[in-house]
Copies of this chain bind each other. A is one copy, B any other.
């Protein structure tokens, strides 16, 4: 089955062609102050300016537009209350097909409205994993909609990987790329693409200490699921999947964990000095390159950082 196979570089290149003109090619920006603090040159890939304000649109857009006409007509479905929900809703709208978003009943009204604003059908369920999966299954049974999960899917991973294609096209001199890791869709796509294009590149995942399943998996050499995550980086609460974990195991040099304080400080620093409005999950990657541990790694002059998104609640800032 196609859905159990990791995408290759050519799948990611095909994804890039597929989403061209639909997803934004986001700019890379720099900040002298952050360079100084990190002790090296940082290149920020600004996915907060991607459609829906997060890299998630790349994966959703690729998955939706890869569907053949017959499947597409039945629509798509997912369960998410985060950026993937909005990404899938918009990708479906732009293709002119329906999207069903299964959301827990405790999702904030603003998130629900955002998804509905993109024309998707919100299906409420109890806030448990089992209720979510049952509800998705019900939607699929009734409509025939195709499930597009948030990360553990080759087409989603391939879409996220287009981020690295653009980074290395613009800055072929990158010595390393750092990206935040939650379910691992971004990290896996970026790693597959970057290593295939530039085998010498070094890859680092940035993870909150309060949701450190990737770090623990990496340390143990086997997939450990996330239990009871607790972090402000609400895009990084999920476990790695069986498609994303092997990539992290084989291609990622290290998982750099950061504390909640480090995340908030990095977020504020990025707002104040770089004037870049990023969400806490993005700040995890900034925090990682500012840690003494990363600072002391030798041999990396130019480091690319994926700023994964910019969807924050301006009424509840963490400082």
Contact = CB atoms under 8 A, between A and B. Distances in A.
Interface of A: 27, 29, 48-49, 53, 268, 271-272, 275-277, 310, 314-315, 317, 319
B314 A272 contact: yes
A56 to B, nearest CB: 14
B277 A314 contact: no
Contact of A319 (B268, B277, B315): B315
Q: How many copies does the complex hold?
A: 2
Nearest to A313: B272
A125 B118 CA distance: 55
A94 B310 CA distance: 33
A277 B310 CA distance: 11
Given A276-B277, A277-B277, A314 B317 contact: yes
A36 to B, nearest CB: 12
Interface centre among A48, A268, A272, A275 (most CB of B within 10 A): A275
Contacts of A310: 275
Given A53-B275, A275-B53, A275-B277, A268 B29 contact: no
Given A27-B29, A49-B275, 10 more contacts: A27-B27, A48-B275, A271-B314, A272-B314, A276-B277, A277-B277, A314-B317, A314-B319, A315-B319, A317-B317
Contacts of A275: 48-49, 53, 276-277, 310
A66 B99 CA distance: 60
Interface centre among A27, A271, A319 (most CB of B within 10 A): A271
Nearest to A278: B275
A32 to B, nearest CB: 8
10 contacts: A27-B29, A49-B275, A53-B275, A271-B314, A272-B314, A275-B276, A276-B277, A314-B317, A314-B319, A315-B319
